[in-house]
Structure 1
Amino acid sequence: MFQKALNQESSQAQSRLYLSIARTPAEIAEAQRLRYKVFAEEMGAQVSGTGGLDIDGFDAFCDHLLVRESSTHQVIGTYRILNPHQAAQAGGYYSAGEFDLSRITHLFDRTVEVGRACVHQDYRSGGTITMLWAGLAKYMQMHHYEYMIGCASVPMNDGGHAAASLFNRLKDDYLSPPEYRVFPHNPLPIEALNQDIQVACPPLIKGYLRLGAYICSEPAWDAYFNTADMLVMLPLSRINKRYAAHFLK
């Protein structure tokens, strides 16, 4: 049923791309191979896994959303989805490794976590990420989930000054109410960093905020990916009406 809904959604998007959920180990490996290419080869992250695959302990419990190119069927975009039932089997959400989530545990039975989002460098137009978001919105709607959480990353190639400046710029308008606030286990030392650099907001974070997401934390430092991560939360009820008309059909 969900696959049929995805097919209907993708037929209304760019005809050269289509959306699916990985159904076999081989399809999951395609997502892991793209993740390795983006995270390890492009970003220099210290990913786990062998044979050119990015693999961690959560993969076996997750649903893997795939965007493929129609003529080659190559996976050019992916999102990893962990729903409440899967999170219970996995021993918790991935983001709990980076943040104290105590204040939002009462929402977990209605919460989907997303992560490992990446797009092949040749397809980083709005269309690919739009298809991933449309698939995610359809997934949440069909299964009656109300909240999405995930770690939004900022590269730390400059030692963290850009991440500190971005958080300083966004916090006044997008920081969540206190009841949704979470706390980094390994905080980025914002006070010791330049917070006044003019920095562009990464497209994925900008997209989340346009949809209506909150930033629920100060940045955490992820040493393996060398990124500063902020937890974002998107209540489905907060999705911007302009986007809801497109995603929630």
Structure 2
Amino acid sequence: MQQQPQLLHAQADLRATPGKLVLSMASTPEELREVQRLRYKVFIETMGLSALARADRLDCDEFDEHCDHLIVRDANSLEVVGTYRLLSAARAHKLGRMYSEGEFDLSRLNVIRSRIVEAGRACIHPDYRGGSVIMLLWSGLAEYMRRERCDFLAGCASISLADGGHNAVAVYRQLIQRHLAPSEYRVTPHLPFPYTKLDPAQNVQVPALLKGYMRSGAWICGEPAWDPDFESADLFLLMPLANLDARYARHYGVAA
């Protein structure tokens, strides 16, 4: 596996909140394995996805070696407690696809592909979900996008199907009322989630990460895909950086 390059510029590649959290970019194979171990703990063990269990306890795929990986560490224990996987437009072009194309037909986005960073595998340790970790990750993401000269963020957001899919239906129906993408940015799932055949849950529970995307100005680009491996309904999201409002711009380090 090739070494992951350090892509944030010098004054941004290491940031710390007082006495606790440090943001950096994975730069060695061992750091990548730390990322994969955290993802396994959160995505496989915590979610109880025994069908995806591995003896090495790593969540990994063929995209990892082509992506950059933001990491947040606890400054005291040095444990990796948060991560975000980023695929630049240049590397997506070299690969010939983005990760999301395994679930969606993205042909309508061809005209803006050179301006898209794809983000995925957002993962935070259960003991560190108070908000500081995701803010650091978003700060690093904004810096990365400036470096890559990209002005669109794309990726999938997952909704658990643990309740039979009723909450996923309710979330989708609620969010498209205000956050549906313009028609020129609509995508089509390869394996659609049959949301029209299920009743929506009465109490809508929007996942925290998805809620954050919506507050930041992201669009939902069409109907959800069904991911049977991770037992989730996935929404493809696209966020123009211009949609970030002033509050989030200040938090993420982007000019408002």
TM-score of the aligned structures, taking structure 2 as reference length: 0.92
Q: Residue 3 of structure 2 aligns with which residue?
A: none
Matched, 1:93 2:98: yes
Q: 1:35 is matched with which residue: 17, 36, 39? A: 39
Q: Residue 222 of structure 1 aligns with which residue?
A: 227
Provide the C-alpha distance between the structure 2 equivalents of 1:195 and 1:133, rounded to a whole number of angstroms: 31
Q: 1:170 is matched with which residue: 172, 175, 181? A: 175
Task: Name the amino acid aligned to 2:153.
Answer: M
Counting aligned pairs with the same residue, the percent is 46
Task: Name the amino acid aligned to 1:224.
Answer: D
Secondary structure, counterpart of 1:5 in structure 2: coil
Provide the C-alpha distance between the structure 1 equivalents of 2:176 and 2:217, rounded to a whole number of angstroms: 14
Provide the C-alpha distance between the structure 1 equivalents of 2:53 and 2:117, rounded to a whole number of angstroms: 23
Per-residue CA deviations over 1:61-89 (Å, capped at 9, x if unaligned) read 00010000001111000000001111123
| 1:147 to partner: Cα distance | 0.4
Q: Residue 147 of structure 2 aligns with which residue?
A: 142
Q: Residue 23 of structure 1 aligns with which residue?
A: 27
Task: Check the 8 A contact 1:103/1:181 in 2, yes or no.
Answer: yes
Task: Name the amino acid aligned to 2:24.
Answer: S
Secondary structure, counterpart of 1:18 in structure 2: strand
Task: Check the 8 A contact 1:153/1:229 in 2, yes or no.
Answer: yes
Structure 2 unaligned residues grouped into runs of 5+: 1-6
Provide the C-alpha distance between the structure 2 equivalents of 1:84 and 1:237, rounded to a whole number of angstroms: 18
Q: 1:125 is matched with which residue: 106, 121, 130? A: 130
Task: Name the amino acid aligned to 1:39.
Answer: F
Task: Check the 8 A contact 1:36/1:47 in 2, yes or no.
Answer: no
Task: Check the 8 A contact 2:88/2:148 in 1, yes or no.
Answer: no
Deviates more, 1:81-90 or 1:68-77: 81-90
Provide the C-alpha distance between the structure 2 equivalents of 1:63 and 1:199, rounded to a whole number of angstroms: 34
Q: Residue 2 of structure 1 aligns with which residue?
A: 8
Q: Residue 206 of structure 1 aligns with which residue?
A: 211
| 1:217 to partner: Cα distance | 1.8
Query: Across the two proteins, how many residue pairs are aligned to each other?
Result: 247
Q: Structure 1 residues 55 and 72, CA, compared in 2 at 3 Å: closer, same or farther? A: same
Q: Structure 1 residues 3 and 49, CA, compared in 2 at 3 Å: closer, same or farther? A: farther
TM-score of the aligned structures, taking structure 1 as reference length: 0.94
Deviates more, 1:68-77 or 1:88-97: 88-97
| 1:120 to partner: Cα distance | 0.4
Q: 1:109 is matched with which residue: 88, 97, 114? A: 114
Provide the C-alpha distance between the structure 1 equivalents of 2:39 and 2:124, rounded to a whole number of angstroms: 8
Per-residue CA deviations over 1:113-149 (Å, capped at 9, x if unaligned) read 0111110010011111111111101110122111000
Matched, 1:67 2:72: yes
Q: Structure 1 residues 179 and 200, CA, compared in 2 at 3 Å: closer, same or farther? A: same
Provide the C-alpha distance between the structure 2 equivalents of 1:170 and 1:88, rounded to a whole number of angstroms: 31
Task: Check the 8 A contact 2:192/2:226 in 1, yes or no.
Answer: yes
Task: Name the amino acid aligned to 2:10.
Answer: K
Task: Name the amino acid aligned to 1:150.
Answer: G
Structure 1 unaligned residues grouped into runs of 5+: none
Which structure is higher in helix share? 1
Task: Name the amino acid aligned to 1:185.
Answer: H
Provide the C-alpha distance between the structure 1 equivalents of 2:31 and 2:80, rounded to a whole number of angstroms: 9
Provide the C-alpha distance between the structure 2 equivalents of 1:49 and 1:136, rounded to a whole number of angstroms: 29
Provide the C-alpha distance between the structure 2 equivalents of 1:104 and 1:197, rounded to a whole number of angstroms: 34
